[in-house]
Structure 1
Amino acid sequence: MRFAAIADIHGNCLALEAVLADIAAQGIAYDHVVNLGDCFSGPLEAGRTGDLLLLLELVTVRGNHDRYLIELARADMHASDALAYDQLSPRHLNWLRQLPVTTVWRDQVFLCHATPEIDDVYWLDSVSPDGLVHLRSRVEIEAFAKGIDQELILCGHSHLPRSIRLEDGRLIVNPGSVGCPAYDDDVPFYHRVEAGTPLASYAILDKTEGHWTVTSRLVPYRHLDMARLASERGRPDWASALASGWLA
């Protein structure tokens, strides 16, 4: 089995198009691509991204920002969600409503956005009170995986590509972010997540002779076009992230 995993597009349609082209160049069909959520939120091209995703019909799970778009009133949304919401049509929102929180793909791969039970908590990473993002302890990572039978587990949310082997041999993979290489957050403590590159990230998973291997891929695209768009829409933080992979 060979397939691709994408996550955290965040309305960056140019990055998504580049990643999809790279996936096709690797000989992987679109029915062998899974999407781990957070599809639209951001100051970029949510509507265009939605049109493409609905056309492709990728296996997709719902992320926390996808949930905000269908659960919160427009007035209660943070800026990135509100900017995306204003571009989305009822059919895009109905698509989000129909997405599962978790799913099992082809009986072998468990998919979720963040953790199986909570969609806005990092699975593989933790944040210290001084804002340092670091690998979680094995005990904590293992606890989130309790009850999952599949030997390959995929998650997103942190935007950081990671692969962690559990004690029992199960593999957890975060493919990184297609469209948002850096951001800051104040939960549970103020911190920054910075990939350090503007390239779009995804992963290819191969199962040969009963074992999974992971290939992380970084894909160039017209990232400065997206940085300019973010700047025009009053988001210098996004502009810096998209231009460089770092926050200013």
Structure 2
Amino acid sequence: MRWAFITDIHANRQAFEAVLADARAQGATRIALLGDFVGYGADPAWVMAQVMALAADGAIAIQGNHDEAVAHGSTPGMHPDARAVIDWTRAQLSEDQLRFLARLPLQAHGEPGNCLFVHANAFQPNGWEYVQGRAEAVKSLHASSARIQVCGHMHEPMLYHLSGTGKAGDFRPLAGVPMPLPGHRQWLAIPGSCGQPRDGNPAACYALLDPAKSDLDDARITFQRVAYDVEAACNALRATDLPTPIVERLARRLTLGE
């Protein structure tokens, strides 16, 4: 059984289509969707329809901070751009889609190698604190007995580990290179953003997990990058009625991967 971990789609239809096609071509049979399905992108209703269909078919889906914000509405204290996008996104979604977002769990467990799926971190899932380095990664790993944690929220791929003696380490993964996850360590994987990568590479991110076949085997994770039609995603934004300055800022981020 091969798992695909997909996170931070951010209403980017073109990126999500490309990642789903690649995951199926790579033989993924299970999917975990780690939140932030909406926000920023031009196609929230289409993305939500796909997410809901995948969840109905057995995919794991958890709530991200953008999902929470869209489900409950913007607040006056938000950045004006964020407030505008949230209000616009809410207007694109059906009542069923808004209810689905509001009812998503903050975390879930899965059978591949005792996994915990959570959008931001395991120590305070609803606080939306970023795992920006080893300190936050260790804090998250200490908060759960799961051998493998998979988090979204950070838009750059990263892999952390913690030994039984408390020694921590990290890897910046190379795309397409399988990495063993030995069972004597805990692991925290951040697949990177499907719909809005921020590491200078606009190609969509996701990760594949091959669970260990027995206690004598290691699970393996492979971080993937998938080229997609970025210009089409930008043009879809320009076809919306969002304010032009916001659209151009969002389009620039997609183009540059920032």
Range class of TM-score, shorter chain: 0.7 to 0.9
Residue of 105, 111, 117 corresponding to 2:117: 111
The equivalent of 1:237 in structure 2 is: 249
The equivalent of 1:85 in structure 2 is: 90
User: What is the letter of the counterpart of residue 103 of structure 1?
Assistant: A
User: What is the letter of the counterpart of residue 210 of structure 2?
Assistant: D
Instruction: Measure, in 2, the Cα distance between the counterparts of 1:145 and 1:82.
Output: 35
Retained in 1: the 8 A contact 2:4–2:28? yes
The range that moved more, 13-22 or 78-87, is 78-87
User: What is the letter of the counterpart of residue 27 of structure 1?
Assistant: G
Structure 1 pair 91–159 and aligned structure 2 pair: CA distance change class (3 A): same
Instruction: Measure, in 1, the Cα distance between the counterparts of 2:209 and 2:4.
Output: 6
Retained in 1: the 8 A contact 2:74–2:87? no
Q: What TM-score does the superposition give when structure 2 sets the normalisation length?
A: 0.79
Retained in 1: the 8 A contact 2:9–2:37? yes
Instruction: Measure, in 2, the Cα distance between the counterparts of 1:27 and 1:236.
Output: 37
The equivalent of 2:145 in structure 1 is: 149
The equivalent of 1:130 in structure 2 is: none
Match status 1:175 vs 2:175: no
Retained in 2: the 8 A contact 1:44–1:226? yes
Residue of 155, 161, 165 corresponding to 2:161: 165
Secondary structure of the 1:159 match is coil
The equivalent of 1:14 in structure 2 is: 14
The equivalent of 1:68 in structure 2 is: 69
Residue of 81, 94, 99 corresponding to 2:99: 94
Q: What TM-score does the superposition give when structure 1 sets the normalisation length?
A: 0.82
Percent of matched pairs sharing the same residue:
29
Q: How many residues align?
A: 220
1:141 to partner: Cα distance: 2.3
Match status 1:37 vs 2:35: yes
The equivalent of 1:195 in structure 2 is: 199
Instruction: Measure, in 1, the Cα distance between the counterparts of 2:135 and 2:229.
Output: 41
Instruction: Measure, in 1, the Cα distance between the counterparts of 2:222 and 2:24.
Output: 15
1:73 to partner: Cα distance: 4.9
Instruction: Provide the aligned C-alpha RMSD in A.
Output: 1.9
Deviations 1:152-199 (A, max 9, x none): 100010111101111231010000001012xxxxxxxxxxxx321111
Structure 2 gaps, min length 5: 165-184
The range that moved more, 197-206 or 228-237, is 228-237
